[in-house]
Structure 1
Amino acid sequence: MPKITYIVPDGTRFEVDAENGSTVMENAIRNAVPGIEAECGGACACATCHVYVEEQWSDTVGQPEAMEEDMLDFAYEVQPTSRLSCQIIVRDDLDGLVVRIPERQA
């Protein structure tokens, strides 16, 4: 089971065992990670699950699709490694993934 680490702006870390096929957002919600609201329930329609993927994971996670890029326009403080966590599907090669929650969401 892949492990995902969520880091909130104050530096608190939430390490979560995530099920393959679920999303990074679903695991954050299940484990009460602060700052991941997911108001649309994971439909890629709100940008309230915005995260920063740690640079070393950027290639493994991949780039956002066009619809996700459009929704990132509504997120705060977008960076080159910004992703919507509802669009990152957990898989074995993401074991150890680290994402940060933007300060404005926390």
Structure 2
Amino acid sequence: MIKVRFHKPDGTLDKEVEAKSGQRLLDVAWAAGQPIEGACEGVMACSTCHVIVDKVDFEKLPHASDEEEDLLDLAAHATRTSRLACQIILTEDMETLGVRIPAGSKNWLYG
């Protein structure tokens, strides 16, 4: 199991959940009630599932594709460690993954 830590925009811990290898971070975030919209439902056609990955964990992830980088250019509050949650697949070699939900994120479907 992988411990996924969701942090609020101010950096404080909001919730820690356990997830299985092979799960997509977007699905884990939805199940954890995080304010990530994912308007395109994970087909990488928007940037509404933007998260900021902890620096240590960011280095462990595969590089973002050119398409993902293009969408991150449109994301509000993007940083060097920004990624789209729909493009992060949890793997067995991850013990933990920490992400921060950017300020202004809102899941319009669930309030």
TM-score by length of 2: 0.87
Separation in structure 2 between the aligned mates of residue 83 and residue 9 of structure 1, nearest angstrom: 15
Segments of structure 1 that go 5 or more residues without pairing to the other structure are none
**Higher normalized helix content (fraction of residues):** 1
Separation in structure 2 between the aligned mates of residue 93 and residue 79 of structure 1, nearest angstrom: 25
* Structure 1 position 12, deviation (Å): 4.1
* Structure 1 position 9, deviation (Å): 1.8
Query: Which residue type is aligned with residue 77 of structure 2?
Result: E
Segments of structure 2 that go 5 or more residues without pairing to the other structure are 107-111
Cα RMSD (Å) of the superposition?
Answer: 1.3
* Structure 1 position 99, deviation (Å): 0.4
Separation in structure 2 between the aligned mates of residue 25 and residue 103 of structure 1, nearest angstrom: 17
Alpha-carbon deviations, 1:14-40, whole Å to 9, x = none?
111112111111100011112x11111
Q: How many residues align?
A: 105
Q: Which runs of 4+ in 1 moved over 6 A?
A: none
Query: Which residue type is aligned with residue 16 of structure 1?
Result: V
Q: 1:100 maps to what in 2?
A: 100
Separation in structure 2 between the aligned mates of residue 6 and residue 21 of structure 1, nearest angstrom: 18
TM-score by length of 1: 0.91
